[in-house]
């Protein structure tokens, strides 16, 4: 809404001239001035509202973009298995889940860890960070795949991590408390060879 102050003042003067002969010029002038103040206040409030709405939209857009960027952990399937966990991949980190809640938890943690520089990564026995892939696996649909790993007690938990070396067919598992710090510590141990790997029962196939 745009208010022309000069137009209002001109109209005010005309109104005052008309009513001066009736002895009420001063009262009319005050009343018109009050109306102009009210109109100006409404315009200011309208502009503040539009500005606030724009800020809210901008914040929401940024949050949505950040959320999308953070969640980039692919779901392991038969079609992408060779690319993510094939024999050319030194280490494949697999986050297996049995519920949507467990998936969200693993995806959030792995997203952070995969983009974060591990404190001991420079001493990695596998070379650069690109030598490690991070994936998710639906354990309810890929039970045969997980049976290739001899993981005791997995059926009683809804999520776990598996560090798998495709070229050696060996693995190490983590079923402890799933926090970013603990998962980072586990992967850090994998990177520098501080954790013992075991042979799989058979070659995992999707």
How confident is the model at residue 159, as a pLDDT?
A: 93
Q: Are residues 107 and 133 located together in one domain of the fold?
A: yes
For the record, the structure tokens of 10 come out as 């001109």
Average pLDDT estimate for 197-203: 93
pLDDT band of residue 118 (cuts 50, 70, 90) is very low
Q: What is the pTM of this model?
A: 0.63
Tokens for 94? Answer: 């697999």
Is there a single domain that holds both residue 92 and residue 193? yes
Of 24 and 195, which is predicted with more confidence? 195
Judgement on whether residues 46 and 18 belong to the same structural domain of the protein: yes
pLDDT of residue 4: 55
* Percent of the chain scoring above 70 in pLDDT: 58
Distances (CA, A) of 196 to 22, 165, 171, 187, 193: 103, 12, 8, 12, 8
Same domain, 98 and 195: yes
Segments forming the whole domain that contains residue 44:
5-68
Q: How far apart are the first and last CA of the chain?
A: 63
Amino acid 184: pLDDT: 93
Residue 51 to residues 1, 3, 55, 57, 168, Cα–Cα distance (Å): 14, 19, 6, 10, 60
Lowest-confidence segment of 47-51, 61-65, 148-152, 175-179 by average pLDDT: 61-65
In a domain, 76, yes or no: no
For 149-192, write each residue's pLDDT tens digit.
977 667 788 999 999 999 999 999 998 889 999 999 999 999 88
pLDDT value, residue 189: 92
**Shared-domain flag, residues 52 and 132:** no
Domain count for the chain: 2
pLDDT at 22 over 90: no
Q: Could you tell me if 114 and 162 are in contact, meaning their C-beta atoms sit under 8 angstroms apart?
A: no
Segment (H or E) for 130? none
At residue 16, the pLDDT reads: 44
- What's the CATH code of the domain at 187? 3.40.30.10
Q: Would the pLDDT of 5 be above 60? A: no
The pLDDT of residue 116: 76
Residues of 80-93 as b/e, b for ≥16 C-beta within 10 angstroms? Answer: ebeebbeeebbbbb
Q: Dihedral sign, CA of 72, 75, 80, 86?
A: positive
**Does residue 98 register a pLDDT over 50?**
yes
Return the SS3 of 55: helix
Instruction: Give the pLDDT score at 38.
Output: 61
Query: Within a 10 A sphere around the Cβ of 102, how many other Cβ atoms?
Result: 19
3-class state of residue 102 by DSSP:
helix
Clarify whether residues 21 and 115 are in a common domain.
Answer: no
């Amino acid at each position: 809404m745009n208010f022309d102050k000069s137009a209002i003042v001109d109209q005010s003067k005309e109104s005052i001239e008309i009513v001066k002969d009736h002895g009420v010029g001063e009262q009319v002038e005050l009343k018109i001035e009050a109306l102009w103040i009210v109109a100006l206040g409404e315009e200011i409030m309208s502009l503040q509202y539009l500005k606030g709405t724009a800020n809210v939209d901008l914040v929401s857009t940024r949050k949505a973009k950040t959320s999308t960027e953070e969640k980039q952990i692919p779901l392991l399937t038969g079609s992408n298995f060779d690319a993510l966990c094939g024999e050319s991949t030194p280490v494949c980190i697999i986050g297996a889940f049995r519920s949507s809640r467990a998936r969200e938890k693993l995806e959030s943690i792995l997203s952070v860890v995969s983009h974060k520089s591990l404190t001991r990564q420079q001493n990695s026995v596998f070379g650069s960070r690109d030598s490690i892939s991070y994936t998710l696996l639906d354990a309810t649909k890929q039970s045969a795949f997980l049976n290739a790993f001899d993981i005791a007690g997995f059926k009683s938990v809804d999520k776990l991590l598996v560090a798998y070396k495709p070229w050696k067919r060996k693995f190490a598992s983590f079923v402890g408390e799933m926090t970013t710090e603990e998962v980072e510590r586990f992967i850090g141990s994998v990177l520098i060879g501080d954790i013992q790997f075991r042979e799989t029962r058979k070659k995992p196939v999707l």
